[in-house]
Each structure stands twice: as C-alpha cells, then as structure tokens.
Copies of this chain bind each other. A is one copy, B any other.
C-alpha cells in the first residue's frame, strides 16, 4: 500500500493523461487512457464515472465521445482528485488512527504528523491537473510503468 489507494493512483494518472491528451479540445476514450496509464480498463471506467459525476472531469457519450477536461477542471488542484477518491482523511486523520486526536488531546505523533500532512496537503493543493501537460509532451515525466 502506498500513500494513496490504488484507485486513487489510477485516478491521478488518468486525470493527468486526459489533461495532456485532450489539450487540443478533443476527447479520449477509456481504452486509450487505460493502455497509456497501465491500468485495468473496466476498473478505471468505474473510477472515471465517479469523477465525472462529481464534476472533476467531463465526458460525453457516443461517437467522438470520451473524456476531457474543461478550463475550470484543468485549473483544479490535484488535492480535489485525492479528496474525491480517497477522501480527505490523509490530510486530516490521526496517524495512529485515534478518532479524537487533536492538539488538546494529542497522540504521541500528533505534532510531527501535522507537519508532514500539511506539507503533503500544501503540495497537492498547489499542483494543478493541467500543469504537467508540457512535461508529458516532452517526455520529461511519465505516467506508466
């Protein structure tokens, strides 16, 4: 298990891929996405359906249909994807699983964790879905393997 669930990993990779692949205003189908981010097609379909319902990504059915991102979606912080899929627990929950952990009633790791979590959150809030399009085009960063 990584920091995120597998579902969430697929979601982020897919969103980055859709951003790059449809920057020209086109759409991209589930099959092409799955192949290019190395994920199980039908499982990814479920994930994208959910993201679409939540308005994180856009989709149209039928010929020439597929998934894409509007300007607003491209500008979203990546943290929105994480929150949509895994929930915000990773940004908020106690590292040791205590429900009532707080600065008033802290677990032993509370203060240290607060720092790490805040850094993670700041990082994911400051990254936008569309910001890697160029790096992906240039092959400087990758989404599979």
Q: Is B145 within 8 A of A98, CB to CB?
A: yes
Question: A97 with B6: in contact, given A108-B132, A116-B116, A143-B107 (CB under 8 Å)?
Answer: yes
Task: Kindly list chain B residues whose C-beta atoms are within 8 Å of the C-beta of A123.
Answer: 112, 115-116
A2 to chain B, nearest CB (A): 5
A2 vs B86: C-alpha distance in the bound complex, in angstroms?
10
* Nearest-neighbor residue (CB-CB) of A6 within chain B: B97
B contact residues around A117 at 8 Å (CB): 3
Whether A96 contacts B9 by the Cβ 8 Å rule is yes
A145 CB contacts on chain B under 8 angstroms:
98-100, 105
26 contacts between A and B (CB under 8 A): A1-B5, A1-B86, A1-B89, A2-B89, A2-B94, A2-B97, A3-B3, A3-B90, A4-B97, A9-B96, A13-B96, A13-B97, A98-B144, A99-B145, A101-B142, A105-B142, A106-B140, A107-B143, A108-B127, A108-B132, A108-B135, A108-B141, A108-B143, A116-B119, A116-B120, A116-B123
